[in-house]
């Protein structure tokens, strides 16, 4: 059972365009929503994260939009560059779990063409 659903599975964008990746969750106890970026041959690395008390967080060209009522959040990459080509994972963490756990989405492979 995938508690965090991510789409699309793959995305091709032209240089300078906007990349948008969407995630939906089911568990209303989730209280932390990070995005991880993974380059080929590397482990994932934290890119940006948001808590449900804000609707948007921006860091440089990367923005998370959060819709609590719809239980959805998305990553927007403005002015996409070829160096942004990577796999992106959304994730969520619940304060109810006794342990420390992140539930990940299925991943989106982003290709930015020059």
Partner 1 sequence: EAQVTQNPRYLITVTGKKLTVTCSQNMNHEYMSWYRQDPGLGLRQIYYSMNVEVTDKGDVPEGYKVSRKEKRNFPLILESPSPNQTSLYFCASSPDRRAYEQYFGPGTRLTVT
CB of 102 to partner 1, least distance (A): 6
Is 103:92 a contact under the CB 8 Å cutoff? yes
58 is a site residue for partner 1 (CB under 8 A): no
Residues 17-46 that bind partner 1 (CB under 8 A): 32, 34, 41-46
CB of 69 to partner 1, least distance (A): 24
Provide the 10 A C-beta neighbour count for residue 99.
4
**At 88, which helix (H) or strand (E)?**
strand 86-94
Round to whole Å and give the CA distance between 97 and 78.
Answer: 34
99 is a site residue for partner 1 (CB under 8 A): yes
Contact residues for partner 1, defined by CB under 8 A: 2, 6, 9, 32, 34, 41-46, 49, 89, 91, 93, 95, 98-107
């Amino acid at each position: 059972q995938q508690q965090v659903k991510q789409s699309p599975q793959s995305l091709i964008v032209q240089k300078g365009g906007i990349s948008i990746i969407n995630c939906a969750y089911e568990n209303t106890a989730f209280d932390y929503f990070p995005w991880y970026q993974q380059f080929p041959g590397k482990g994932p690395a934290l890119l940006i994260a948001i808590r449900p008390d804000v609707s948007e967080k921006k860091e440089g060209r990367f923005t998370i939009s959060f819709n609590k009522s719809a239980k959805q959040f998305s990553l927007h990459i403005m002015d996409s560059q070829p160096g942004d080509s990577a796999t992106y994972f959304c994730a969520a963490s619940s304060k109810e779990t006794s342990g420390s756990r992140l539930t990940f989405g299925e991943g989106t492979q982003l290709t930015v063409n020059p």
